[in-house]
């Protein structure tokens, strides 16, 4: 009798253990809903979520819309000088910091652009952009209030063609990242400064074929420059046709670490990152494309990683409570996603918890262009299709 009682007591523990180790439930993909836009946007439009506003940037204009698509404000950044604003972020007060390149000499305004937005129906991955406007040599920052008023403008002339791809900001200053033309091709460029607009000496990475797509600032003013390269950097040679690179700089601008992400006979690049060092990029091997997603520690050791068959265009965003989001276009089956069988490549947004487990999924028409999250708006995705560029959110 005593032995039978012990057995009965043990059975609940066994069942409890089995339930704790059971496979997670399959995730059903939710459909995102398109926002009705009052005016069309193009595939080159950048997006940032600030509270209840979706802030949009295109070359030299910035404007904000609400979740209903109604425009709240609009501002022309340039005052007679040719400029291309190409990246934006926000500070704790809700001010928007925009970075781009400007010319010393004003040039004639371009003719009116067609009403139909450019599209990329074949989802083709293009090589990293390089500076093609030789007159755009000035790195420029515009600081704009959350109601669309220009607060200040800062600039520095690097005397060579520039393309600014990223701006990072914290309480101690800002950092810009991009590409600068050289005699041999192009190098990655990192430009930091304080919040009063005083620029430090630029830092260059590579001399012939390196680009910085994203910069991240640590709380101690450490800078992470993230992009791709096909040349030797810090004594480390290219391992594939092109490697993704992560360069870590101290607060004084000293290179302290450089990591190459490579695959044999493949082109790899990191093109998106969050300030928590969740990186997204592409891997191209022949005609095969994959999205690479890796969460790095501050010492650049990977903590978790994924590869998904895709068109290769991948975007990362940070979420609440240590979670992260990634958007890419794919039609391949994904383990744990129960109803993902699109007939053609379709935008998919995956949610990862703080440990890297996939916990949610949503989708929208087209190929991802931009991705963001705010407490007020939730996850917002911009995508391009054969008919239009659209903005979606979960409702």
Distance CA 342, CA 346 (A): 7
Please write the tens of the pLDDT for every residue from 333-378. 999 999 899 999 999 999 999 999 999 999 999 999 999 999 999 9
Does any domain span residue 24? no
Say if CB 349 and CB 358 are below 8 A apart. no
Query: What confidence tier does 172 reach under pLDDT thresholds 50, 70, 90?
Result: very high
Q: How far apart are CA 381 and CA 366, in angstroms?
A: 10
Let me know if residue 4 belongs to a domain.
no
- Other CB atoms within 10 A of residue 61 CB: 14
Q: What is the pLDDT of residues 129-156, one digit of tens each?
A: 566 689 999 999 999 999 999 999 999 9
Distance of alpha carbon 311 from alpha carbon 289, whole angstroms: 6
* Residue 330, token pair as written in the block: 């794919």
pLDDT the model gives residue 117:
38
Q: Does 80 map to a domain?
A: yes
Q: How far is CA 34 from the centre of its chain?
A: 21
pLDDT at position 78 = 83
Beta strands in 230-337 (DSSP E): 243-249, 255-261, 267-273, 278-285, 288-296, 302-309, 314-318, 324-330
Domain count, the chain: 1
pLDDT digits (tens, 9 = 90+) for 194-251: 999 999 999 999 999 999 999 999 999 999 999 999 999 999 999 999 999 999 999 9
Asked if the structure places residue 323 within a domain, the reply is yes
Looking at the domain assignment, is residue 23 inside a domain?
A: no
Q: Are strands 358-364 and 30-31 parallel, antiparallel or unpaired?
A: parallel
Spell out the residues 6+ positions from residue 7 whose beta carbon is closer than 8 angstroms to its own: none
Using alpha carbons, list the distances in angstroms from residue 66 to 54, 69, 283: 6, 5, 35
Helix or strand or coil: residue 13? helix
User: Which residue shows structure tokens 């926000």?
Assistant: 90
Q: How far apart are CA 261 and CA 328, in angstroms?
A: 19
Structure tokens given for 341: 């069988």
Domain membership of residue 172 as a residue range: 29-393
CATH value at residue 277: 2.120.10.30
In a domain, 8, yes or no: no
Give dist(CA 10, CA 170) in Å, integer. 55
Please give the share of the chain, as a percent, with pLDDT higher than 70.
Answer: 86
Q: Which residue has the higher pLDDT, 105 or 93?
A: 93
For the four alpha carbons of 230, 43, 283 and 213, in that order, the dihedral sign comes to positive
Q: Which residue has the tokens 């007939």?
A: 343
What distance in Å separates the CA atoms of residue 35 and residue 370, rounded to the nearest whole number? Answer: 14
Across all residues in the chain, what is the average pLDDT? 89
Residue 120 has pLDDT above 50, yes or no: no
CB atoms < 10 A from the CB of 17, how many? Answer: 10
Q: Which two tokens stand for residue 349?
A: 């947004």
Cα–Cα nearest to 224, from 296, 120, 312, 118: 296
In a domain, 324, yes or no: yes
Rg (CA), the chain: 23
pLDDT (tens digit, 9 = 90+) per residue, 242-287?
999 999 999 999 999 999 999 999 999 999 999 999 999 999 999 9
Residue 17 lies in a domain: no
- Contact between 338 and 27 under an 8 Å Cβ cutoff? The reply is yes
Q: Report d(CA 155, CA 196) in Å as an integer.
A: 11
pLDDT at 46 over 50: yes
């Amino acid at each position: 009798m005593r032995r039978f009682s012990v057995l009965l007591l043990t059975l609940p523990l066994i069942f409890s253990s089995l339930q704790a180790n059971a496979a997670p439930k399959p995730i059903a993909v939710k459909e995102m809903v398109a926002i009705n836009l009052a005016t069309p946007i193009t595939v080159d439009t950048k997006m940032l979520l600030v509270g209840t506003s979706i802030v949009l940037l295109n070359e030299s204009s910035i404007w904000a819309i609400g979740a209903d698509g109604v425009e709240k404000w609009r501002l022309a950044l340039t005052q007679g000088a040719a400029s291309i604003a190409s990246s934006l972020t926000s500070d704790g007060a809700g001010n928007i910091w925009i970075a781009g390149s400007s010319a010393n000499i004003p040039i004639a305004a371009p003719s009116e652009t067609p009403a139909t937005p450019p599209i990329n129906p074949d989802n083709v991955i293009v090589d990293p952009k390089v500076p093609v406007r030789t007159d755009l040599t000035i790195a420029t920052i515009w600081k704009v209030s959350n109601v669309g008023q220009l607060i200040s403008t800062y600039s520095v002339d690097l005397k060579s063609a520039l393309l600014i791809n990223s701006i990072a900001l914290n309480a101690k200053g800002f950092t810009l990242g991009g590409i600068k033309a050289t005699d041999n091709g192009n190098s990655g460029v990192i430009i930091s400064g304080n919040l009063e607009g005083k620029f430090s000496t630029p830092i260059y990475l590579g001399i012939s074929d390196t680009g910085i797509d994203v910069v991240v600032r640590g709380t101690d003013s450490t800078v992470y420059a993230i992009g791709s390269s096909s040349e030797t950097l810090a004594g480390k040679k290219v391992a594939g046709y092109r490697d993704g690179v992560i360069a870590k700089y101290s607060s004084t601008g000293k290179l302290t670490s450089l990591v190459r992400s490579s695959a044999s006979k493949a082109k790899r690049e990191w093109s998106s990152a969050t300030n928590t060092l969740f990186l997204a990029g592409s891997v191209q091997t022949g005609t095969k494309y994959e999205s690479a997603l890796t969460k790095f520690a501050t010492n650049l050791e990977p903590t978790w990683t994924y590869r998904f068959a895709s068109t290769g265009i991948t975007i990362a965003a940070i979420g609440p409570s240590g979670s992260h989001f990634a958007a890419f276009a794919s039609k391949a089956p994904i383990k744990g996603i129960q109803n993902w069988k699109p007939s053609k490549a379709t935008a998919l947004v995956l949610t990862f918890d703080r440990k890297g487990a996939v916990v949610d999924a949503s989708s929208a028409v087209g190929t991802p262009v931009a991705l963001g999250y705010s407490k007020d708006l939730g996850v917002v995705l911009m995508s391009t299709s054969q008919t239009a560029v659209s903005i979606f959110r979960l409702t």
